[in-house]
Amino acid sequence: MIYTDEFFMKEALKQARKAESIGEVPIGAVIVKDNKIIARAYNKREKIQSADAHAEMLAIRKACRSVGNWRLSGCTLYVTLEPCPMCAGAMINARIDRIVYGAPNPQSGACGTRLHLPEMNLLNHTPEICGGILQQDCAKLMNDFFKAVRKKKQKQ
């Protein structure tokens, strides 16, 4: 098996589709250490009714439980949409090594689009950023979701 960024982004996309299937904005994330997925999660903001229930936050919490440590050094986080400031900030707090995202987030992307938190060297930690992995698939999932939401609203 060849473990590429595309391979793990496909796993994040599977999580995003789970979010879509329950009517959530389709965003999914996985956290990888030594080529092994140690956490998988998808956006559950509406289901849980919690402002922090983004895919990345739920994945970080699971990964911390999995390794028994708040430090996730040596880990890469894959997420289908560029993280918001809360999620990018959490990745810095967790000392995650690499952040790989699919589609850019023009509304609140904090890894280069609206601001670039990782390059600010907060807490003396600078995660590596890699954007645009399976970008079209990730963006299509989001666009189709919001198109359907608008259609539904027009019918009401």
- Residues noted as catalytic: 56
DSSP codes joined into one string, the chain: ----HHHHHHHHHHHHHHHHHTTS---EEEEEETTEEEEEEE--HHHHT-TT--HHHHHHHHHHHHHTSS--TTEEEEEEEPPPHHHHHHHHHTT-SEEEEEE--TTT-TBTTS-BSGGG-GGG---EEE--TTHHHHHHHHHHHHHHHHHHHHH-
Nearer Cβ to its own copies (64/130): 64
Nearer Cβ to its own copies (14/114): 114
Minimal distance, residue 48 CB to its own copies, in Å: 8
- For binding to its own copies (CB under 8 A), which residues are involved? 45-46, 48-54, 57, 60-61, 64-65, 68-72, 84-90, 92-95, 107-108, 110, 114-115, 117, 120, 122-123
Nearer Cβ to its own copies (12/117): 117
Minimal distance, residue 19 CB to its own copies, in Å: 15
Minimal distance, residue 22 CB to its own copies, in Å: 15
Minimal distance, residue 150 CB to its own copies, in Å: 18
Number of neighbouring beta carbons within 10 Å of residue 148: 12
Nearer Cβ to its own copies (120/148): 120
